[in-house]
Amino acid sequence: MVADHPSGFADSSEHHDFRNSVAEFAAAEVAPYAADWDRDHHFPLDLITKMGALGLFGLGVPEEYGGAGDFTSLCIAIEELGRVDQSVGITLEAAVGLGIGPIATYGSDDQRERWLPDLIAGRALAGFGLTEPEAGSDAGATRTRARLDGDAWVIDGSKQFITNSGTKITSVVTVTARTGTRDDDRAEISAICVPAGIEGLTVEPAYRKLGWHASDTHPLTLRGVRVPADHLLGERGRGFSQFLATLDDGRVAIAALALGCIRACRDLARDHAMDRTTFGKPIGSRQGIAFQLADLDVLAETSRLAVYSAAAMKDGGAPGTDAGRKAYRRAAAIAKLHATEAAVTATRVAAQVFGGYGFVEEYPIARFYRDAKILEIGEGTSEVQRLLIARGMGLPVE
């Protein structure tokens, strides 16, 4: 399998070659098994090892920590995997963006040395515990609490929808918790690394999800979890700003996953329209079908531009200044909003082109249809993205 479009604004030969290598990997190691994994709700641990050998978990991670490749490369990998199987794409996105990213960016030398080597090699996975039953987009409503008791944090609370938190190789989950009250009476939110298997941490049964059946997702319960004080990630009270920056990157990566979904739907629908005949002609010769396919192509191209313009800002160092951070946050929100809503539209249009076959599980369109909806919800709903964009325009919206 060869890439059918450039990797983005900077269409370097390195990006082009890398895209082709990931596309070939996805065709050989993912595509033949994706339907079975989805049907059986099977998390493919063996694939994680192969992805690690390909270097996918080190993408976007600084070289001094064992990583290689820029953020654009990570988006390319997520897109190409997501074009074959969205579950595998989100596994990579969450493993790097939510699992490795916070530790690499905010962790101490000891934390990086302890967890990053295995995470980057694909020998382990990490989760990011932000969402709670009453706190998702409203992170200030976090109810999980952590108190210092001597030289340890004692954590009590619950988290939900935590990806990569219950696999056999999960090594750590970073959780956000209230660690006090700020001078303005708002909650002080900090992030703490919680090792997997520690006493008091319960990984609850996996969710029965509409889609992403081959992705690992669990609620977590923490009851008197005691971790050393040096497991605090970054500065105390900076957890809120840390997770905002983490989500900016995550939104671009989710948009890349959505782009993979759009491209898959466009290509599958196009091929079906060329093969399926009615009244002696391919249905693709009918304007009603051809125009829908043209719309899918527009969705793919506009989403590509949004994703890789934002990725280029990240790689160009835009988040390093206040003005750049605001511009990048807006670009990330635009990419996430446009690409994810476009993905939901693309699956609906593609299913319509397939007719009755689009409603049959033996065809991948049905799987993409189920997988797409969560893209509009995870890492910030469409409503949150519109809020961020409006604020970026200078509107005093609350």
Active-site positions read 379
Identify the H or E element spanning 264: helix 239-275
SS3 174: strand
* Short-list 182, 309, 189, 180, CA closest to 256: 309
Beta strands (DSSP E) in 117-169 are: 125-129, 145-149, 152-163
Alpha-carbon distance 7 to 72, whole Å? Answer: 8
Alpha-carbon distance 22 to 135, whole Å? Answer: 36
* Short-list 306, 305, 322, 324, CA closest to 314: 324
Is residue 80 within 8 Å of 5, Cβ to Cβ?
no
Alpha-carbon distance 314 to 68, whole Å? Answer: 15
Alpha-carbon distance 346 to 390, whole Å? Answer: 25
Report residue 126 CA to chain centroid gap: 13
Q: CB neighbours (10 Å) of residue 347?
A: 26
**Exposure letters 199-235 (e unless 16+ CB within 10 A, then b):** eebebeebeeeebbbbbbbbbbbbeebebeeebbbbe
Beta strands (DSSP E) in 170-304 are: 170-181, 187-195, 201-203, 217-228, 232-233, 277-278, 281-282
Count the helices and strands in the chain (H runs, E runs).
12, 10
Question: Would you tell me the crossing angle of helices 287-315 and 239-275 to the nearest 10 degrees?
Answer: 150
